[in-house]
Every structure is written in C-alpha cells, then in structure tokens.
Amino acid sequence: GVALVGLPMFIGALGFTGAGIAAGSIAAKMMSAAAIANGGGVAAGSAVAVLQSVGAAGLSLGAKVGLTSALGSAGAASG
C-alpha cells in the first residue's frame, strides 16, 4: 500500500508532474540527457517517457495490480 502511494509521490518529487517536467528538476536533467543522446528527442518507451507518463497520470491499473502482487509476496516471504 505504501509503495502504491509513495512511488508516484517520489516520481513527482523528481519533477515528473501532471503539468509536465518541472524546470530545474532532476527530471529536467534526465530529459536533457535523453534528448542529447537521441539527437534532440526523447524516445517513446524510454525511462524518461515512462516516468513522465506516471507523473502525469499515475500508475495504471495493471501496474498497481502487479506492484501489489509482487510486494505482497515479498512481504509475506520476508515475514
């Protein structure tokens, strides 16, 4: 449960927000490096693109189900 709330909050704190990438943030630096490496654009499916998608819209239902399943199993195993 904490990860489902904490992960989007962490991504937002990096600068991946619903309004776009925040100026001067770690996200902006990541986007700049990705654009330089790709000749001026950020590739679809890249880490920057995925993080911005999560920052803008939150985690998809599939991602929530997957995280809940994986983290629940890990918690049970460690307990």
pTM above 0.75, yes or no: no
Closest CA to 7 of 74, 64, 45, 78: 64
**How sure is the predictor about 54, in pLDDT bands with cuts at 50, 70 and 90?**
confident
The pLDDT of residue 35 is: 92
For 13-53, how does the pLDDT look when each residue is reduced to its tens digit (9 = 90+)? 888 888 889 999 999 999 999 999 989 888 888 888 888 88
Predicted pLDDT at 5: 64
